[in-house]
């Protein structure tokens, strides 16, 4: 039986945490200090008992290592997945990307916990940092951290999407970023010009994929070292996932179709909850399509809705039940499809993925 989604409202002086997305977190404020956002190394830090007078009000709660970690992929819907999952009554969600296992590991486990929400023994803690999937040392660091705490390793959520769409979205965001405008991305007028450069550069550094996926894999570290190539290489999901499979059993991974998360979020969330071992509380009846925004919002308290940030969905929106594709020339699209096709074949082999975008790139009849 599904429980009704309830969004708790916790008052913070005259402002509520719910407005900022802190619903169901269980905090009160002892101080009248109006500052409620605290940036720590670029992360919106979860309030602790030593920060601005915040203290947990629920009994039996403490900071716990995550039971579930979202490891990627960037620009595929990791934020949407986190946003929807935080309405589950048994999941406490970190509302920032901690970047602990990739960028801040030397700060120690207690620092990591300080970025995580309070939870009790019947709840699950979730955090997501999309950079984890592409950072080589992360799996070993996770194993070491959990072993020291005497805990089993967590389950992992990997959101994947059409790699062409992902690359376009990632590039477009970089072009909007002031820091990139004068960097390597700034030299390209548009995405198609970038693709021409990147594919030619990859051709000079790695053998043709026709010689075998694993032969290409042997050059991935060099390709990844070239910042300007990462818009394309980070869509080679099979390479990164197979690295993680060396450390964790495949049953510990939940693969989420990021495109379907946009078009059929209820069905996707039901499957994800089942695979994560959660009671199913979030389903199709909890979503409503916002035509103005171009994506689904989640309903709670029967009448209230919560939508993603206006910054989301700039390059990945839904129309007539499908994710809109970037406006690319047929030649650019063909070249990118050919580049990714061998890697997607490998990806389907190791994950049994049957997403529509995978079928399109592999020219698979979805009725088979």
Q: Annotated binding site for 3'-phosphoadenylyl sulfate, which residues?
A: 169, 296
Contacts of 12 (CB under 8 A, 6+ apart): 27, 28, 29, 36
DSSP 203-243: HHHS--GGG-HHHHHTTHHHHHTSGGGHHHHTT-HHHHHHH
Both tokens of residue 283? 């389903």
Residue 334's closest CA among 354, 309, 360?
Answer: 360
270: Cα within 13 Å, side-chain hemisphere = 11
Q: What is the DSSP letter of 75?
A: T
Backbone angles phi, psi at 297, to 5 degrees: -115, 155
Distance CA 218, CA 78 (A): 28
Q: Of 159, 226, 216, which is closest to residue 342 (Cα–Cα)?
A: 216
For residues 94 and 21, the answer to whether their CB atoms sit within 8 Å is no
Q: Can you read off the two tokens belonging to residue 136?
A: 């080589």
User: Catalytic annotation on 75?
Assistant: yes
DSSP 235-299: T-HHHHHHHHHTTS-GGGEEEEEHHHHHH-HHHHHHHHHHHTT------GGGEEEETTTTEEEEE
- Of the residues 75, 113, 128, 155, only one is catalytic, namely 75
- Can you say which residues are annotated as belonging to the binding site? 169, 296
CA dihedral 37, 38, 44, 50 (to 10 degrees): -110
User: Contact, 300 vs 9, CB < 8 A?
Assistant: no
Distance (Å, whole) CA 246 – CA 244: 5
Burial class (CB in 10 A: 0-12, 13-18, 19+), 304: middle
User: Which residues have a catalytic role annotated?
Assistant: 75
């Amino acid at each position: 039986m599904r429980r009704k989604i309830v969004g708790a409202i916790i008052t913070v002086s005259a402002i509520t945490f719910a407005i900022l997305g802190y619903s169901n977190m269980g905090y009160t404020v002892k101080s009248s200090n109006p500052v409620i956002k605290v940036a720590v190394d670029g992360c919106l830090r979860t309030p602790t008992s030593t920060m601005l007078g915040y203290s947990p009000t629920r009994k039996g709660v403490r900071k716990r290592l995550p039971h579930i970690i979202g490891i990627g992929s960037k620009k595929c819907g990791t934020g949407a997945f986190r946003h929807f999952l935080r309405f589950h009554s048994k999941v406490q969600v970190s509302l920032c990307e901690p970047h602990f296992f990739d960028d801040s590991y030397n700060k120690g486990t207690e620092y990591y916990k300080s970025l995580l929400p309070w939870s009790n023994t019947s709840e699950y803690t979730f955090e997501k940092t999309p950079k984890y999937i592409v950072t080589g040392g992360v799996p070993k660091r996770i194993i070491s951290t959990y072993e020291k705490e005497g805990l089993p390793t967590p389950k992992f959520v990997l959101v994947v999407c059409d790699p062409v769409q992902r690359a376009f979205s990632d590039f477009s965001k970089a072009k909007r970023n002031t820091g990139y405008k004068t960097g390597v991305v700034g030299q390209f007028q548009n995405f198609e010009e970038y693709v021409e450069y990147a594919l030619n550069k990859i051709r000079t550094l790695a053998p043709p994929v026709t010689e075998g996926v694993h032969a290409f894999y042997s050059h991935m570290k060099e390709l990844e070292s070239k910042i300007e190539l990462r818009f394309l290489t980070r869509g080679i999901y099979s390479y990164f996932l197979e690295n993680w499979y060396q450390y964790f059993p495949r049953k510990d991974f939940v693969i989420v179709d990021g495109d379907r998360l946009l078009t059929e979020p209820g069905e996707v969330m039901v499957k994800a909850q089942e695979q994560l071992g959660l009671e199913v509380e979030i389903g199709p009846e909890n979503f409503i399509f916002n035509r103005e925004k171009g994506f689904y919002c989640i309903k709670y308290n029967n009448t209230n809705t919560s939508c993603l940030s206006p910054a989301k969905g700039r390059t990945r929106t839904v129309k007539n039940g499908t994710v809109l594709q970037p406006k690319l020339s047929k030649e650019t699209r063909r070249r990118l499809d050919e580049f990714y096709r061998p890697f997607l074949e490998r990806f389907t082999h190791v994950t049994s993925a049957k997403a529509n975008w995978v079928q399109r790139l592999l020219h698979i009849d979805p009725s088979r």
